[in-house]
Amino acid sequence: MAEALLAVCAVLASVACQPKKVTPVQRGRVIYMANCVVCHNADPNLPGSQGPPIAGSSRELVESRVLHLSYPPGYTPKRKTHAMRAIPTLAPEIDNIVAFLAAAKTSEPGAHAAPYKADAHLCTSAV
């Protein structure tokens, strides 16, 4: 009986120690906060110090701007500044950034500026 109880405790302990799965929205938020808030607002629904509001931006626009500093065909820029720099190392994160920006667009302004509870472990183990 004691061995069975010990086995159950071991299984429960191993399950409890598993890291939480990070959603694309959560990962995108961490990437956005680490790379984009220097110019864009922490709440992507609002204008930043240099960058326009970008909540809900299409994947095509995010990829064009972040990786190539270009715009998709037919897109009219919101600002005429050229302060943004390409960050090609973010290529694997484009889908996550877009997921965060889409989630931000469906929220009340200010909702994504406050830190998530999970941010502490995201910044140390998932990025």
Domain locations in the chain as residue ranges:
22-126
Residues 121 and 86: their CA atoms lie apart, in Å, by: 27
pLDDT of 1 reads: 61
More confident residue, 118 or 7: 7
Share of the chain above pLDDT 70, in %: 69
| 80 pLDDT tier (thresholds 50, 70, 90) | confident
Q: Does domain 22-126 have CATH number 1.10.760?
A: yes
Is the Cβ–Cβ distance between 16 and 105 less than 8 Å? no
Residue that the structure tokens 């090609």 belong to = 88
